[in-house]
A and B are shown apart, each in its own frame.
Chain A
Amino acid sequence: MKMTETVFLEVFEKFKNTVYAVVFNYVRNVEDAADLEQEVFLRLLSHAPEFESEEHMKAWLIRVSINLCKNHIRSRSYLSDGPLPEDLPATAKEEQGELLQWVLRLPEKYRIPLHLFYYEEYSIRQIAEVTELPEATVKIRLKRGREKLGKSLRKEDWF
C-alpha cells in the first residue's frame, strides 16, 4: 500500500480515533493527545514501511502511538499514573462517559490493554504484540483491570 495523499486522507479518517484514543488513554490530556496524534500521523507520512494490509497499518499506528506516548510520559509520569487530571473534559469525567472515566482512573498498565481489548477488539496475542508484553502478562493485566473496574462499576459482565 503506497502512501499517496489520497490514501493518507482515507487512512486518517479511518484511524484518527484509534490513534487519538490510544494516546489519550496514555496521557489523559487533550492538548498532549492532539500533539501526539499529529506526530503519529506525520510519521506515517514520512517513515511508514510498506503495509501488507489495513490491519498491519493499524497495528503499526498503535505501536508508534504507544512508543511516542512512552517517550512523552517519561518526563511527565504524573499525567499517566497520577490521579485523574482535574482539567479532564467533562465528557470523560461525568455523564456521557462514566465507563471511560473509570477506565481512565485505572493505572496505565491496566487501562491500555483494556482499551485495546474493548475498543479495538484486539485478542490477547495482538495486545501482546503491540505492547511488546508477554501474553501471560496481558492476560493477568486484563483480568485484574476488569476486576478493578467491576468493583468500581459493580457490573458483573466485566468479569
Chain B
Amino acid sequence: MSVKMEYKQQVDTFCDTYNRVTAEQLLYRAAKETIATRTIREEKDTLIDFGEKKKQRTAWKKVLSAACIVIICSLAVATTALAATGKLGELFRNLFRDETTADLVEEGYVHEINLTASEGIFRVDLVAVAGDVNYPKLIFDVYVEDAELAGNNDSIRLYAYTLGEKQYENELDAYGMAEGYGVKDAETENLYHVSLDGASAWISHGEPVVISVREIRFEHMAQPYYVNLEYRFSLPQGGLHPVTQNYYNGIRFPSEKRECYLNFVEFSVYDTGCSFMFPYDGSSLEGQYTTQDGLETLLQMQWDEFAKDLTLVADGESYGIDTEKKGLVYCDETGEAGVPGWYHAWVYFPPVDDVSVKEIYLKHGDAGIRLK
C-alpha cells in the first residue's frame, strides 16, 4: 500500500472513530442560535448589560478609526499668538470659528497637555485637548525655523496618528492618520495654530494614548515634510464634556421599507449620532454580490435610500441628516465590527440639547419612535 493510501486510511479510521458531530446536531444548534439572536434583538429592555454594549460601541468606533471613514478637519484663520490655555476659548472662537468648543473651553472642558517635540526645522507643541467625549480636539502650536517657508505659507495641514498605546505599538498599519488644519499666527511669523480631531475611542476614555505627528504640509508646497514627533499622555476620566448615550439594544425600528434595528443614539454638543443595524445574511440581498466592492456598493445604495427619509424631531422642530457624515460597515465572520452577517450604519443630525427639550422623535417617513 502506498504511503498516501495508508495515510488516508488512518485519517479516515481516526475520523470515523472520534468525529461525533452530526448534521442534525448542527441544524438544531443553528436554529436555536437564530431564535436566541432574534429574542435579544426584539426585546426592548436590556438583556445585554451596559458594559458589554459600551465595549461593542468602542469596538465599532475603533473599526471606524481603522477604516479612516471619518476624518473631520477643523478650519482656522490667522490671529494673535495664543499659548496659554486661558486664551484657548478665544482661539476657538476667533481663530477656528468654533463657538461650540469655545463655550466648552470657557466652561472648563479643556486639559492642558504642554508637551514639546522637535525635529529638523519644526518644534511642535501639543498644547491642550478640549471638546466633548465624542470629539476630543487636539490643539498644536507649530513653530517653523525657516523664515522663507513661513513667509510663503499662511496655512498648513498636519497628519497624526491618535491611538491607544497598544494599538500604536502593535497594530499601527491597521489605522489611518487624522488630519488637522491650521494657519499662521497673526503676530508671530513662524507660528501656526492647528486643531485636529483625535480618536475618541482612546483619548476620551482615560487610556494611555500616543499622538504621533508624521506629516506637515504647507499650503504652497507640493511635497510634505515627514517627521516623527510623539506625545504620550492619559486624559483624566470626565475631563471632556459628557455625551448622553442611549442604548436601545437593537430594537426593531418601525419602517415599512426595510428590516432595521436601532442600536444607540448619542447626543453630543456637536451633533446627534444614530446607529442602526441591518441584516445582510439571510436577507433578500444576500448572495447578490460575491466581491467586497460589489457588496459595499450594494449596501451603500440601500443605506442611502433608507437614510434620506430619516428625520430627528425635537419639540416639533425637524432636522434632516448630515449627508456628508453618514456611513456603514459590513461585519464579516470575524465579528470585529459588531454582529457577523449584519451591517452597521450610522447617520448624524444637528446637535439637540437632550436635557432641555421635552420630546425627541426619530422618524422614517411617517413612522418612528420616541427617544424622549
Q: Which residues of A contact B (CB under 8 A)?
A: 5, 8-9, 12-13, 16-17, 20-21, 24, 30, 33-34, 37-38, 41-43, 45-47, 49-50, 64, 89, 91-92, 96-100, 103, 115, 118-119, 121, 155, 157-158
Q: Is the CB of A34 within 8 A of B19?
A: yes
Q: Is the CB of B13 within 8 A of A43?
A: no
Q: Is the CB of A16 within 8 A of B19?
A: yes
Nearest-neighbour CB distance to chain A for B103, whole angstroms, equals 47
**A9-B23, A38-B21 known; A47 vs B281 contact (CB < 8 Å):** yes
Stretch at the interface among B25-33, B225-233, B243-251, B305-313: B25-33
Interface residues on B, range: 20 to 34
Q: Which residues of B contact A (CB under 8 A)?
A: 2-4, 6-8, 10-21, 23, 25-27, 29-30, 33, 281-282, 287, 290, 332-333, 340-341
Nearest-neighbour CB distance to chain A for B98, whole angstroms, equals 44
Q: Inside 8 A of B341's CB, which chain A residues have their CB?
A: 46-47
Cα distance A17–B9 in the bound complex, in angstroms: 12
Of the A-B pairs whose beta carbons lie under 8 Å apart in the complex, a sample of 25, sorted by A's number, is: A5-B27, A8-B23, A8-B27, A12-B23, A13-B23, A17-B12, A17-B15, A21-B11, A21-B14, A37-B21, A45-B30, A46-B281, A47-B332, A49-B290, A50-B290, A64-B333, A89-B17, A91-B14, A91-B17, A92-B14, A97-B13, A98-B10, A99-B7, A100-B11, A158-B3
Q: Inside 8 A of A64's CB, which chain B residues have their CB?
A: 333
Q: Is the CB of B18 within 8 A of A91?
A: yes
- Which residue from chain B places its CB closest to the CB of A45 in the assembled complex? B30
Cα distance A98–B340 in the bound complex, in angstroms: 41
Partner of A38, one of B7, B18, B26, B281: B26
Q: Inside 8 A of B14's CB, which chain A residues have their CB?
A: 21, 24, 89, 91-92, 96-97, 100
Q: Inside 8 A of A157's CB, which chain B residues have their CB?
A: 2-3
- Which residue from chain B places its CB closest to the CB of A103 in the assembled complex? B7
Nearest-neighbour CB distance to chain B for A46, whole angstroms, equals 6
- Which residue from chain A places its CB closest to the CB of B17 in the assembled complex? A91
Given contacts A42-B26, A47-B332, could you give 11 more A-B pairs where the C-beta distance is less than 8 Å? A16-B19, A17-B11, A20-B18, A30-B18, A41-B26, A42-B29, A42-B30, A43-B333, A91-B14, A91-B18, A103-B7
Cα distance A95–B121 in the bound complex, in angstroms: 74
Q: Inside 8 A of A5's CB, which chain B residues have their CB?
A: 27
**A17-B19, A47-B341, A91-B18 known; A96 vs B4 contact (CB < 8 Å):** no
Q: Inside 8 A of A33's CB, which chain B residues have their CB?
A: 18-19
Nearest-neighbour CB distance to chain A for B296, whole angstroms, equals 15
**A41-B26, A49-B287, A50-B287 known; A118 vs B4 contact (CB < 8 Å):** yes
**A13-B23, A34-B20, A99-B3 known; A21 vs B15 contact (CB < 8 Å):** yes
Nearest-neighbour CB distance to chain A for B353, whole angstroms, equals 43
**A5-B27, A37-B19 known; A119 vs B3 contact (CB < 8 Å):** no
Cα distance A98–B6 in the bound complex, in angstroms: 10
Q: Inside 8 A of B16's CB, which chain A residues have their CB?
A: 17
Q: Is the CB of B30 within 8 A of A34?
A: no
Q: Is the CB of A12 within 8 A of B26?
A: yes
